[in-house]
Every structure is written in structure tokens, then in C-alpha cells.
């Protein structure tokens, strides 16, 4: 025993010395040799494991062939590290064998250099961090009447389709994931994921609805970022985000959303009968590490998920990769798509500024966020007759009565309390209950609310504990870009977000509140009443592109050069979305301890598309990922409920929000229309070889770098990246005339399509042929020719429309910028 302790100490000393020599970090290493997904034979003693990328057949990961070849790769990883370094001077974290051939390892920068020069090593990348891109929507999208009946009703919508969530875990006991009120779930033979055991309850996380639950934290632990007390060393959601996204995509139908004694409606996932597979790789405080996320994706595809939802994006560009499409994250997702998995990713929350997207690659469905038709409003009526608008999901003060207004700073127990930012109303113990009781407490919205150290929930709790009739939270100065969301509270309350209205409130209070020469209040004479803000107002000007939703143009490299590929791909609801929450989740301070949360982000938009894709996969089980993406895009809409062109929330000169005409850089092809997506008429299909061709044709992309990540040579080019067969056309540098081609495949009855196009005046557009007839299953090519008429220095927008004789409409957006040379 003593010797073992000494040996362990010796190893620790060596490792500590390495840390001093150069701080150990996590590196993702890729090696020569094919991963399981693309191995076609050639290694003595190991038969091919790849399947033809054009076939519907999936790799059988349980076969002896696959198991032995995967084991062979892992042995090679271990042998390489053992050959180069002494035991104890490094720590291998993961072996990646299925989608990429490589491993994640914790070692010093000096060792990483040695590793990079070793034979058979293709790339060594320092790991980088990722972050989260943080119920009415089934009705808004027309699912209950238009889509669910075609799949056998809500109780069969998404049956036997498995959606994998790489997120912050799940709270398995939530009613959105319960099975006791539904038909029994049978086994899903194609899915092979496992269920971890909760170390506290000793029960596993699965129940038939949840079919897999695993967590990935080895990189986070190696980096010293993981805290088991708050991050939970299990698939349990310690954040709330993962439970929320899973419920949006696949939560049970008709779950009452109750908070503070009020029912805000009934929540449902897009595909209520779909199964949930959890791959926890995100954590509350630090987000996550790419090494953990890649391991989670690799496992999910190995386990047999149909759809992968990623409400996650990189914090910053990877250090060593020049091309946005070529990094371990996107390369792994390319292999996932090759395996037949439909990958959905949130666009990012950096809007409304251009080039803020965090999802770049053509094999991924990139989702922007829309504001749907619900708006929550409330009002404060003052004693002088003025009515001030605000927000808060709250009951009203008693009808036909006004209440005295008392400011927090005027009801302090003693002057020493001033050091606690008392105007935030976060600490009831510093305020005088005798002066607050029965009155409306006036509080100030400070920077503490922006950074999350103060919350509206806590203001409500303070007011309630002091016996207040209600509270008002006034925003006196807002930093540009501050987003105010309504929050449910149990007592009357309102957040006055407009600074000018807050000034009116404060002026009225000061005029009505006499003070002595020291500034102390002699009597409180200001009065007011709070309206009811529990019910939404439905607007016809929906959907709109949300202010925070990341915008294009897409970029092809990290020097922000424009790409010849349109992103985002599609728009889906992502603002003020009600869904399940983990009671121990702390991602949103206003929902700590609650069972539901109403939050916003492209994180919320992505699972809408994942759930709708599950409905499409259920109806068309043999459709490829690109076919599903094409059907979603070509059937989307660019008009709102009032039959006007979509608008985007944007900043005007004074940094107040305004609405401007939206473009494909805001919404991609348009807002999702699930009913039409189930019957698109035509699809634009593309496979692994096409994506390789796109990479090999993109200017500035090194063929050697492509080979490093894909194990494939550049034998095939498209002539120009704009020729990739996507349901959109983007040409970032158009000189003179350029013709691009597209191929469509008929997935309906025989139909004749008339092809037309329109474009902004600076660029002429023509299509050829003018019409074509396609039999079921047939494919036909058409071309689109763009010619520069005038150079404006801005992008021109347009569209190509294929109108079918049986009523199908297939629309693809076109963006181009003209140059003289």
C-alpha cells in the first residue's frame, strides 16, 4: 500500500513539474487512418466498416467488425502516446473512433509540439470553450390541426424517432417527460444508448420517453472547471437549459404551465411522442469544452439518434483553423450527417449586427429566432391620471383603488443600509415593513439586474415579505442592447422599461412627496395602481426576426471573408418560449426553483426545428438530412400574419428598437411552415461527396487541411462553391455574369413546374429552362444566371420560384454582391 502511495506521489510530482514547465491544456488530436464511418478496408486483419453514403443502410455498431476496428484505433491512440511520453506526464481524456479518428489529451504545450511532429499525426488543436445560445408555439405553427393529424394525432406525433440533445442535461421527473399518462413506450431497437444511474437516488434517468442519458465532463474536470456540487456528475440538469430545449422539441402534449397560482396555458413539444436521448456536455458556470461536446456527438451518432439538437456554439474562433467549416466540431458534424443524422444548430445570439453567426457549415441546419404573435403588456396608472406602459406577468392591484407609492430609498431601516444597493429591493431586511405594508414599493433597475446578481423574482419576494400591495421596478438608464423580458410574479408588479416613462414616474413621485430640510420624507402622497399583465395580446405583425438573433452574411474564414453560402437557413420561434425547467436550474435567476420558464434565444428556436424534423422523418423515414433541410427551407414563408413582408427588429439611431424590412441574412429562406414542409413537392438533395466538393472548391481552403479533417483527397470540385446543391444561392463576389446550377428531385406525383426569378435592379437574373416536368422520383437540373448591372457596394436580394401544376411552390432565396472585377 505504501509503495503504491509513493508511486502515485511520484507521478503527481512529474505531472506538477510539467504544469510548471508549461501549463497543461486540453488538445484535440486527429490522426491518419479512417474512422469507423468511412473505413473502406486496407488495414490487415480488419474488414471495411463504411457503408455507401448514397444508401439508406446504417452502420451496425454492434457488429464484430465495427467493435474490433474501433478497438484497433483506440489501441493506436494509446500506443502513440506511450511511445512519445512517460506514463503520468499526460492524461488521455477521450478516444474518438466513429466520426473522426483521434483523441483528446491533457498535456503541456511543449508536449503538444512534440505530438504535432509525430508521424501519423494530422492536427493538434488546443481545445476551446462553447456556450449555450440561450408554448403557444405549436398552435402558432399550425401543428395540432395541420400536421399532427397526418401522423396519427399528437399521441403518435414523432413515434419512434430519437432526438439527441447535446446540452446541460435533463430533469427527468418533470411532467413534460413523464410516461404515466401516455400509452406505454415500447423499445426502440435501432437505438443503443445507455442510461446512467443517478448517484443520489440510485435510479436511472430513463423511462421509455427518455431512452438515453449520459454525461461528458472529462475535459471540464481536467481543466479544473468542474464543480460536482453545482454541476452534478450525472445527466441531471443543474442549469435548466437542457430540460427547456428537450421539452420544446419533444415534451409531452398539454402539460399545464402553472406558476404563482395562475395557469399560463398548456405546453407541448413539437413532436410529443418522439424519444429523448440526453448527452450532457454543458454546465452552468463555464459552458462546455469542445473535447466533451465532440465526445457527446460521437456517442450520440454511435447510439443511433435520428436528429441531433445543438443549442450551443463556440465562444470564439478556434486558434489554429483558418476555415470556419474545418474544425473538430464541424468536421464531427459532417461525419454525423454522413451517418444519416439531421443536425440542427442555433445560429447564435449576437444580433442584430452583421456577421455574428456561430453556425457556418452547409451540412448543418442553422436556425434563427423569431418573435411570435404573443406580446405581454401591463400598465401603471398614476394619481395624476398618467398611464405608463410596462411589462410583468402579474395580477392587478384591487380594482377601483389606488395605493400609496413608497420608494425603497425612503423606507430604509437606517442610513447604514445604503451600502446594500437598497433601491434594487433584493434585501427585505434593510427596509421598514411598517412603511411598506399595504403600499406599492418603488424600486430601481440597476446594473445588478443585467449581470444577474439581482432579479425581478427577488423584488417580488421582498415586496411580498414586507406586505406590499405590489411593486414597480423603474429603468432609469438602459445600456444599449438591454433586453427586457416579462417575468411571472405572484403579486401585482410592473417593470417600466422606457426611461422617459420612468422619469415621468420619478418626477410625479418627487412632486407628490414633501420632505424636510434633511431630505427625509414627511408624508407619502403619490398614489397609483397596477394593471393585470397575465394574458398575452396576439399581434398580426408576427413573426418578426428577434433583435438578438445572429445575422449573416456567413463567413468562410476567421478573417471574416464572406462565404458563398447563405446562413442562417431558417427562422423559428425563439422569443419568450414557455417550456420545462429544472427546479435546481440557475441559468435564469427569475426562475430559480420553478418548474417552467419563459426564456428567449436561438437556443429555443433550434429545438422547434428538431421537433418538426422528427415529424418529417416519421412520415419520410428514408429522407436524407439534406432532403429534410431542403423541405423545411423551400416551403418556408417570407410574409407575416398580416400578409406583409417579414420585418426584423433592429436598432435605430438612438439605440431604441425599431422594425426594418428583413432580408435572407436575417431569416435565411424564411419562417418555418411545418404543414407545407411535409409535402414540399421537390427537394434539393446533397450528400457527403457534395460537401467535400464544396470544401475543395472554396477559395483559400487548403486541400491538405481538408484531408486532415475528412480523410478524403480533393478529387471532386463544383467549379464554384455556389454550385453546391442547396436550396439557396449566395455569390459574395459577382463579376460580370455567372451561372450556377441546381438539381431538384420530385418527391410527389408527376408535376410540371414553371420556373421564374426576380432580383433587385442592380443584378439581372435569368433561369433556364423556363419549365420542366418531373415524374415521381425523377431529378432534373436547371440553371440560374446572374449578371451585374450596376455596382452598389451592397448585397442584392431576390428569389427563384418553381410553381407546380398541382399547387406545390418551391422558393429559394438568392443573394449576390456585384463588383467591377
Strands 365-371 and 544-545: antiparallel
Q: Quick check: is 808 catalytic?
A: no
**What ranges make up the beta strands (E) of 446-523?**
470-474, 493-496
In angstroms, rounded to a whole number, what is the distance separating the alpha carbons of residues 659 and 162? 38
Q: How far apart are the first and last CA of the chain?
A: 76
Peptide bond into 552 cis (omega under 30): no
Q: Quick check: is 603 catalytic?
A: yes
Q: Output DSSP code: residue 423.
A: G
Strands 275-280 and 121-126: unpaired
Cell 449578371 sits at which residue? 787
130: nearest Cα among 67, 223, 52: 223
What are the C-alpha distances in Å from 114 to residues 81, 83, 818? 11, 11, 47
What are the C-alpha distances in Å from 59 to residues 53, 201, 308? 11, 35, 17
Q: What is the dihedral of CA 517, 523, 528, 529, to 10 degrees?
A: 140
What are the C-alpha distances in Å from 595 to residues 164, 171, 491, 533? 22, 10, 18, 20
167: nearest Cα among 300, 257, 317, 37: 300
Contact 273, 181 (CB under 8 A): no
Selecting among 174, 241, 302, 671, the annotated active-site residue is 241
Phi and psi (nearest 5°) for 344?
-115, 135
Gyration radius of the chain's alpha carbons: 28
In angstroms, rounded to a whole number, what is the distance separating the alpha carbons of residues 52 and 3? 54
Residues in a beta bridge with 794: none
Nine-digit cell at 473? 421596478
515 C-beta neighbours (distance < 10 Å), count: 12
What DSSP string runs through 108-164?
Answer: -HHHHHHHHHSTTEEEEEE--EEEE----HHHHTTHHHHTGGGGTSGGGTTTT-EEE
Selecting among 311, 460, 575, 603, the annotated active-site residue is 603
155 class by beta-carbon count within 10 Å (0-12 exposed, 13-18 middle, 19+ buried): middle
Contact 544, 640 (CB under 8 A): yes
**What ranges make up the beta strands (E) of 203-341?**
210-215, 255-259, 262-267, 275-280, 288-289, 307-310, 312-314
Selecting among 127, 167, 306, 640, the annotated active-site residue is 167
| Backbone torsion region of residue 8, taken as left when φ is above 0, otherwise alpha when ψ lies between -120 and 50, otherwise beta | alpha
What are the C-alpha distances in Å from 345 to residues 183, 640, 695, 706, 814? 31, 24, 20, 22, 22
Residues in a beta bridge with 657: 651
**What distance lies between CA 11 and its chain's CA centroid?**
42
In angstroms, rounded to a whole number, what is the distance separating the alpha carbons of residues 586 and 71? 40
Strands 275-280 and 210-215: parallel
Peptide bond into 791 cis (omega under 30): no
Q: Quick check: is 167 catalytic?
A: yes
Contact 529, 401 (CB under 8 A): yes
Query: Measured at the alpha carbon of residue 506, what is the angle toward residues 501 and 507, in degrees to the nearest 5?
Result: 95
140: nearest Cα among 446, 576, 591, 788: 576
Q: Which residues are marked as active site? A: 167, 241, 603
Amino acid at each position: 500500500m505504501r509503495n503504491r502511495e509513493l508511486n502515485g506521489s511520484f507521478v503527481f510530482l512529474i505531472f506538477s513539474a510539467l504544469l510548471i514547465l508549461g501549463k497543461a491544456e486540453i488538445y484535440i488530436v486527429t490522426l491518419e487512418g479512417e474512422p469507423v464511418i468511412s473505413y473502406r478496408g486496407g488495414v490487415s486483419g480488419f474488414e471495411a466498416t463504411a457503408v455507401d453514403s448514397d444508401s439508406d443502410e446504417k452502420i451496425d455498431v454492434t457488429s464484430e467488425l465495427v467493435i474490433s476496428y474501433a478497438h484497433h484505433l483506440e489501441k493506436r491512440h494509446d500506443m502513440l502516446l506511450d511511445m512519445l511520453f512517460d506514463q503520468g506526464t499526460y492524461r488521455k481524456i477521450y478516444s474518438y473512433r466513429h466520426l473522426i479518428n483521434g483523441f483528446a489529451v491533457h498535456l503541456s504545450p511543449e508536449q503538444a509540439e512534440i505530438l504535432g511532429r509525430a508521424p501519423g499525426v494530422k492536427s493538434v488543436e488546443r481545445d476551446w470553450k462553447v456556450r449555450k445560445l440561450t408554448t403557444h408555439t405549436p398552435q402558432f405553427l399550425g401543428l395540432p390541426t395541420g400536421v399532427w393529424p397526418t401522423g396519427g394525432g399528437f399521441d403518435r406525433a414523432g413515434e419512434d424517432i430519437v432526438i439527441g440533445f447535446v446540452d446541460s442535461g435533463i430533469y427527468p421527473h418533470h411532467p413534460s417527460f413523464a410516461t404515466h399518462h401516455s400509452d406505454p413506450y415500447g423499445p426502440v431497437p435501432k437505438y443503443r444508448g445507455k442510461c446512467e444511474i443517478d448517484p443520489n437516488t440510485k435510479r436511472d434517468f430513463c423511462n421509455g420517453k427518455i431512452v438515453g442519458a449520459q454525461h461528458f465532463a472529462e475535459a471540464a474536470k481536467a481543466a479544473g472547471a468542474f464543480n460536482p456540487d453545482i454541476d452534478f456528475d450525472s445527466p441531471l440538469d443543474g442549469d435548466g437549459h437542457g430540460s427547456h430545449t428537450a421539452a420544446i422539441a419533444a415534451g409531452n402534449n398539454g402539460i399545464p404551465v402553472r406558476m404563482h397560482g395562475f395557469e399560463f396555458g398548456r405546453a407541448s413539444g413539437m413532436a410529443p411522442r418522439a424519444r429523448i436521448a440526453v448527452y450532457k456536455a454543458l454546465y452552468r458556470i463555464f459552458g462546455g469544452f469542445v473535447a466533451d461536446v465532440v465526445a457527446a456527438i460521437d456517442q450520440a451518432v454511435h447510439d443511433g439518434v435520428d436528429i441531433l439538437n445543438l443549442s450551443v456554439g463556440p465562444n470564439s474562433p478556434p486558434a489554429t483553423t483558418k476555415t470556419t467549416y474545418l474544425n473538430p466540431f464541424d468536421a464531427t458534424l459532417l461525419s454525423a450527417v454522413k451517418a444519416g443524422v439531421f443536425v440542427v444548430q442555433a445560429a447564435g445570439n449576437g444580433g442584430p449586427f452583421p456577421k455574428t453567426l456561430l453556425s457556418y457549415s452547409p451540412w448543418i441546419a442553422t436556425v434563427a429566432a423569431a418573435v411570435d404573435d404573443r406580446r405581454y403588456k401591463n400598465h401603471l396608472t398614476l394619481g395624476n391620471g398618467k398611464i405608463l406602459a410596462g411589462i410583468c406577468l402579474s395580477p392587478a392591484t384591487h380594482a377601483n383603488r389606488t395605493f400609496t407609492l413608497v420608494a425603497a430609498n425612503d423606507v430604509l431601516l437606517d442610513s447604514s443600509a445604503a451600502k446594500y444597493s437598497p433601491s434594487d429591493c433584493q434585501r427585505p431586511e434593510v427596509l421598514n415593513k411598517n412603511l411598506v405594508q399595504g403600499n406599492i414599493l418603488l424600486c430601481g433597475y440597476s446594473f445588478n439586474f443585467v449581470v444577474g446578481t439581482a432579479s425581478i423574482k427577488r423584488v417580488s419576494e421582498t415586496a411580498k415579505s414586507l406586505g406590499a400591495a405590489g411593486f414597480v421596478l423603474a429603468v432609469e438608464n438602459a445600456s444599449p442592447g438591454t433586453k427586457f423580458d416579462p417575468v411571472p410574479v405572484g403579486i401585482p408588479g410592473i417593470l417600466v422599461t422606457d426611461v422617459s416613462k420612468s422619469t415621468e414616474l420619478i418626477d410625479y413621485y418627487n412632486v407628490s412627496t414633501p420632505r424636510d430640510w434633511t431630505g427625509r420624507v414627511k408624508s407619502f402622497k403619490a398614489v397609483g395602481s397596477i394593471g393585470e399583465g397575465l394574458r398575452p395580446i396576439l399581434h398580426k405583425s408576427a413573426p418578426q426576426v428577434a433583435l438578438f438573433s445572429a445575422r449573416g452574411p456567413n463567413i468562410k474564414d476567421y478573417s471574416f471573408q464572406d462565404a458563398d453560402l447563405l446562413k442562417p437557413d431558417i427562422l423559428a420561434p425563439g422569443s419568450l418560449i414557455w417550456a420545462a425547467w429544472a427546479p435546481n436550474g440557475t441559468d435564469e435567476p427569475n426562475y430559480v426553483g420553478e418548474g417552467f420558464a419563459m426564456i428567449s434565444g436561438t437556443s429555443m428556436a433550434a429545438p422547434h426545428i428538431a421537433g418538426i424534423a422528427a415529424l418529417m422523418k416519421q412520415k419520410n423515414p428514408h429522407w436524407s438530412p439534406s432532403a429534410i433541410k431542403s423541405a423545411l427551407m423551400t416551403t418556408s414563408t417570407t410574409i407575416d400574419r398580416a400578409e406583409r413582408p417579414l420585418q426584423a427588429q433592429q436598432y435605430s439611431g438612438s439605440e431604441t428598437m425599431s422594425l426594418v424590412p428583413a432580408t435572407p441574412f436575417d431569416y435565411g429562406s424564411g419562417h418555418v411552415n411545418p404543414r407545407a414542409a411535409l409535402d414540399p413537392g421537390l427537394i434539393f438533395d446533397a450528400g457527403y461527396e457534395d460537401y467535400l466538393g464544396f470544401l475543395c472548391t472554396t477559395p483559400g481552403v487548403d486541400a491538405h487541411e481538408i484531408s486532415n479533417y475528412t480523410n478524403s483527397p480533393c478529387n471532386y470540385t463544383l467549379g464554384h462553391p455556389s454550385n453546391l446543391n442547396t436550396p439557396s444561392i449566395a455569390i459574395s463576389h459577382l463579376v460580370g455574369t455567372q451561372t450556377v446550377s441546381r438539381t431538384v428531385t420530385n418527391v410527389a406525383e408527376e408535376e410540371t413546374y414553371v420556373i421564374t426569378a426576380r432580383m433587385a435592379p442592380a443584378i439581372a437574373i435569368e433561369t433556364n429552362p423556363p419549365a420542366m416536368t418531373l415524374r415521381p422520383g425523377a431529378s432534373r437540373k436547371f440553371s440560374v444566371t446572374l449578371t451585374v448591372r450596376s455596382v452598389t457596394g451592397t448585397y442584392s436580394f431576390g428569389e427563384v420560384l418553381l410553381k407546380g401544376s398541382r399547387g406545390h411552390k418551391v422558393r429559394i432565396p438568392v443573394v449576390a454582391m456585384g463588383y467591377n472585377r
